[in-house]
Amino acid sequence: MIAESGHYALVLALALALIQSVVPLIGARLRDAALMNVARSTALAQLLFVGASFVALVMLHVNSDFSVANVYENSHSMKPLLYKITGVWGNHEGSMLLWVSILALFGGLVAAFGNNLPMSLRAHVLAVQAWIASAFYLFILVTSNPFLRIASPPIEGRDLNPVLQDIGLAVHPPMLYLGYVGFSISFSFAIAALMEGRIDAAWARWVRPWTLMAWIFLTLGIAMGSYWAYYELGWGGWWFWDPVENASLMPWLAGTALLHSALVMEKRNALKVWTILLSILTFSLSLLGTFLVRSGVITSVHAFATDPTRGVFILLILCLFIGGSLSLFAGRATSLKQGGLFAPISREGALVLNNLLLTVACAVVLFGTLYPLAMEMLADFKMSVGAPFYNLTFAPLFALLLLAVPFGPMLAWKRGDLLGVTQRLLAAGVAGLVAVAIAWGWATGGSTLAPLAIGLGVFVIGGAVTDIVERTGLVRLPFATVLHRARGLPRSAWGTAFAHAGLGVALIGIVCETTWNSEYIATMKQSEVAHIAGYDVKLDGLFQRQGPNYREMIAEFNVSRDGETLSVMTPSKRSFTTRGSSTTEAALLTRGASQLYISLGDATAEGAIAVRIYHKPLVLLIWWGPVLMAFGGVLSLSDRRLRVGAPKPARAKPRLQPAE
């Protein structure tokens, strides 16, 4: 019954989405408020029904109803409850259902909190959201229905892929989807603006909070995924330039550019056409990401079972939306009036440079992701584009960007004074150079570029600090005044500083981890001691344990430094009998921002075991950086100016103010 209800709810959601796709547009054409308001109720009802459908699938998984194919293939009655729930989106069908649920959630949020939007804009936005939703409901119902029954139900399920049986699955995909799908809102706003042929600074003010929200989730989602790969795959790697990772990085790069260009549009009413284009591109890249992951055209840890019809279906959706939106853009963009003059050296100029570098970096990643696919299809040979390619292309572009980051927020709007800003950034520059010198003296081995990169990271952090110091008048003014000014500073200024500093922090972590990472790989016998980066790691013993749906072999290591015992680390190797496969559970010991990392290999006949021990200096900074960025985003989001629903226009106006 539950499965059928879930299926039925999904069909109803599709019907609602189809109504929402058409009726509000007719309403907008006829200027009929009642018809336009249909969008609001259908969006909320859609959320309700998709939500019900999603809850139904969760219940099926929790109850281990193996008469449903999806549950049979991905669950097991012995699986812990948490993984029964997270297993819902640990497979293709469930993950697509999560995708549309989040899409409906965003649509519902616009419907519920978009009261300050002009009525026809809201009608258009929700209609466009419904187009996307209809396409994906159809996709699920036609090619990937999670509610299909099996004629003769098996007694036991096939269990979830062991690698996915981890808390990471509970957090990473929902976060990532909140980001990916969140960009659909800026897309819908862009299409609505093109359809209405009207766009102004207010538009940017409405779009920015949504974009920012999506960006925060995407940032956290990517960071979380990277940390998950780091501790779960047992190789200590945190970024593989895998096409699926690139698929999430590209919308992030484009979305970051969009955040910044929307700022110019909001403040100075310039870069309108560009901002619209970026909104379209960002969501197109999210769709491309969905296509790459869901169609099975690429090999990766994320590739679920593949089925060609799905690939073709998503490709159709992709072509329809990207092609359609770009054609609309090409047709309408010229009619949007340009505004806001600025000198090349100015805050706007800096933001243009930011956009330029971000989009070009994004294009490079896109090229690296699609080139092997294209070559395989056209020239019929296989190749891979990995880290060496991106180190030679992406890294220099990003280094340029980081070099420019501290200058941006300190330049004035319209016309800036580059020399003056350089003088004010002197302290940050000196801090950077000192860091280079220290890193140079301290470091043994590694690339000569590494100290320079660390200097760059320190410069970026220093720049963010300088900006706040300047704005609050710290050093110059009495302390009480400084406090007062700090409180009076717009939250978005703090947000900028935190987000930019986060970039520097992440860069330092990345450089330290890749350059001064030490590793020890060997077979160890009982009581044998490994020496690594000043730590003594002694193998105390091996023992077996029975988990809920696996057996595990645990190795106990005693970690000491200078004769003083610090901790016991217990990496393990789990064997999942249902799937006949095993996973490596690494053990981590955190010391400050550095980590000791132990993962196990195979045990030999003599009772020795292959062991991989890494010391990763400052590795945690890699993820603290994005957390800082996201925190900056949250601060910015809480800024009064941007609060969703805050800037209420004067009541009296019966119709919207015309666009300039």
**Are 79 and 160 spatial neighbours (Cβ–Cβ below 8 Å)?**
yes
Q: Residue 614's closest CA among 523, 519, 539? A: 519
For the CB of residue 253, give the shortest distance to other proteins in the complex, in Å.
13
Cα 330 to Cα 335: distance, rounded to the nearest angstrom = 10
Nearer to other proteins, 115 or 577 (CB): 577
Say whether residue 551 binds other proteins (CB under 8 A): yes
In eight-state DSSP terms, residue 88 is G
122 to 181, contacts with other proteins by CB under 8 A? 158, 161
Q: Which residue from 64, 526, 560, 581 is in contact with other proteins, where contact means CB under 8 A?
A: 581
In eight-state DSSP terms, residue 163 is G
Q: Which residue from 80, 153, 308, 386 is in contact with other proteins, where contact means CB under 8 A?
A: 386
Cα-Cα-Cα-Cα torsion 256, 260, 262, 265, nearest 10 degrees, comes to: -160
Q: Residue 166's closest CA among 111, 216, 227, 245? A: 227
Instruction: State which H helix or E strand residue 356 sits in.
Output: helix 347-378
Q: Which residues of 141-179 are buried (b: 16+ CB within 10 A; e: fewer)?
A: eebbbbbeeeeeeeeebebbbbbbbbebbbbbbbbbbbb
Site string for other proteins, 238-277 (x = CB under 8 A): ----x-----------------------------------
Q: Residue 266's closest CA among 189, 378, 180? A: 189
Size of the site for other proteins (CB under 8 A): 61
Say whether residue 582 binds other proteins (CB under 8 A): yes
For the CB of residue 341, give the shortest distance to other proteins in the complex, in Å.
7
Q: Which two tokens stand for residue 559?
A: 């970690």
- Of 23-31, 167-175, 375-383, 472-480, the segment contacting other proteins by CB under 8 A is 375-383
Q: Which residue from 1, 377, 388, 445 is in contact with other proteins, where contact means CB under 8 A?
A: 388
For the CB of residue 316, give the shortest distance to other proteins in the complex, in Å.
22
Letter for the amino acid at 330?
Answer: A
Say whether residue 326 binds other proteins (CB under 8 A): no
Say whether residue 226 binds other proteins (CB under 8 A): no
In eight-state DSSP terms, residue 68 is B
Sequence-separated contacts (24+) of 239-245 with Cβ below 8 Å = 240/386, 240/387, 241/368, 241/385, 241/386, 241/387, 241/389, 241/390, 242/300, 242/301, 242/302, 243/292, 243/298, 243/300, 243/369, 244/289, 244/292, 244/293, 244/298, 244/300, 244/301, 244/302, 244/303
What residues have CB less than 8 Å from 363, skipping those under 6 apart?
A: none
For the CB of residue 362, give the shortest distance to other proteins in the complex, in Å.
10
Nearer to other proteins, 329 or 394 (CB): 394
- Of 48-56, 190-198, 252-260, 379-387, the segment contacting other proteins by CB under 8 A is 379-387
Say whether residue 603 binds other proteins (CB under 8 A): yes
Say whether residue 339 binds other proteins (CB under 8 A): no
For the CB of residue 249, give the shortest distance to other proteins in the complex, in Å.
16
Nearer to other proteins, 120 or 261 (CB): 261
Say whether residue 340 binds other proteins (CB under 8 A): no
Q: Which residue from 113, 367, 442, 543 is in contact with other proteins, where contact means CB under 8 A?
A: 367
488 to 547, contacts with other proteins by CB under 8 A? 521-523
Q: Residue 369's closest CA among 270, 299, 463? A: 299
Say whether residue 64 binds other proteins (CB under 8 A): no
Q: Which residue from 69, 141, 148, 360 is in contact with other proteins, where contact means CB under 8 A?
A: 360
- Of 38-46, 360-368, 466-474, 482-490, the segment contacting other proteins by CB under 8 A is 360-368
- Of 31-39, 231-239, 430-438, 454-462, the segment contacting other proteins by CB under 8 A is 231-239
Say whether residue 299 binds other proteins (CB under 8 A): yes
Q: Residue 187's closest CA among 123, 100, 283? A: 283
What residues have CB less than 8 Å from 338, skipping those under 6 apart?
A: 270, 272, 273
Q: Which residue from 445, 534, 580, 592 is in contact with other proteins, where contact means CB under 8 A?
A: 580
Lay out the sheet containing 518-524: strands in order across.
518-524, 609-616, 594-603, 587-591
User: Helix, strand, or coil here: 394?
Assistant: helix
Task: Provide the binding-site residues for other proteins, judged by CB under 8 A.
Answer: 158, 161, 233-235, 242, 296, 298-301, 303-305, 341-344, 349, 352-353, 356-357, 360-361, 363-364, 367, 381-386, 388-389, 391-393, 396-397, 521-523, 551, 573, 575, 577-584, 601-604, 610, 612
